[in-house]
Amino acid sequence: MARLICDISMSLDGFVAGPNQTLEDPLGQGGERLHEWAFPLVSFREPHGLPGGETGADDEVVAESLRATGAVVMGRRMFSGGAGPWEADPNADGWWGENPPFHVPVFVLTHHARQTMTMQGGTSFTFVTDGIEAAVEQARAAAGDKDVLLAGGAAVVQQSLEAGLLDELQIHLVPVLLGGGVRLFAEGGRGTDQIGLERTRVIDSPAVTHLRYRVVK
C-alpha cells in the first residue's frame, strides 16, 4: 500500500505559516521565509515550468520526494486560502493557474462538494467531503506503487497523525523564528505514549535541515 508521507517546511519555532494570513499574503507575515530555501532549486523550478536552478543536497531531497510521489492530499485552505461555499471563494480555482506544479492527482479536503477539476500537465483536483481517511484512501488508490504526499496545512497533518494514518514525516526545518502563526504541532495532541517516532535521516545544508521520521505504529 502507498505510504502516506507528510512533507512540510517548519520554522525553528514550530510554525508552518506566519501570523495574519490573507489572500494577498497566504503564508502569513514572514511565511515566505519558510520556502525560500526551495525557490532556487532545479527540482522546484522544473515542475513550475522554470528553466535552470541550483543542484546539491537540498535539490536532491526535493527531487527524491517528487520521484516518489504518486498523489497529493491537502487541506482546503492550502488549495484556495478560503473556507465555506465555493461560490463565495474568490480563489476557488486554487493558486496555481492552468498548469499546477503537482503533475499528479491531488485530493483536497473540504466540507463543500464539487466536481473534479482536470488541469494541464497531469494535475487533477478531486474534492473529498468525507474526511481525511477517505481522502487518503482515494489518494492511495491513485498513487499506485508510489507514495502519497501530505502537503498540509497543519490541521490536516495533525488529523492524519492522530488518526494513525501517517507513515513518515519529513520536516524541512528552516533557521528562522516567525514568532507566531500556524503551528505544525498543536497543544493537546496525543503524546509520545501514543505516537512513537523513529528518526530515519537528517540531511543538512546552511539553508535548511531535512529531518525525516518514521511513525512507529
In the numeric block, the cell 513518515 is attached to 168
- By rule CB under 8 A, what string of x and - marks binding of each residue 139-178 to its own copies? --------------------------------x-x-xxxx
The sign of the dihedral angle between the CA atoms of 80, 161, 111, 180 is negative
29 binds its own copies (CB under 8 A): yes
- By rule CB under 8 A, what string of x and - marks binding of each residue 171-210 to its own copies? x-x-xxxxxx--xxx-xxxxxxx-xxxxx--x-x-x--x-
Q: Which stretch binds its own copies (CB under 8 A): 29-37, 100-108, 120-128, 137-145?
A: 29-37
Among the listed residues 31, 13, 8, the one whose alpha carbon sits nearest the alpha carbon of residue 21: 31
Pairing of strands 105-109, 15-17: unpaired
From CA 207, how far away is CA 69, in angstroms rounded? Answer: 24
Beta bridge partners of 197: 215
Nearest distance in Å: CB 56, its own copies:
15
Nearer to its own copies by Cβ, of 31 and 105: the residue is 31
From CA 161, how far away is CA 183, in angstroms rounded? Answer: 14
Nearest distance in Å: CB 48, its own copies:
25
3: DSSP letter? P
Chain residues in the site for its own copies (CB under 8 A): 11-14, 18, 29-30, 33, 171, 173, 175-180, 183-185, 187-193, 195-199, 202, 204, 206, 209, 211, 213
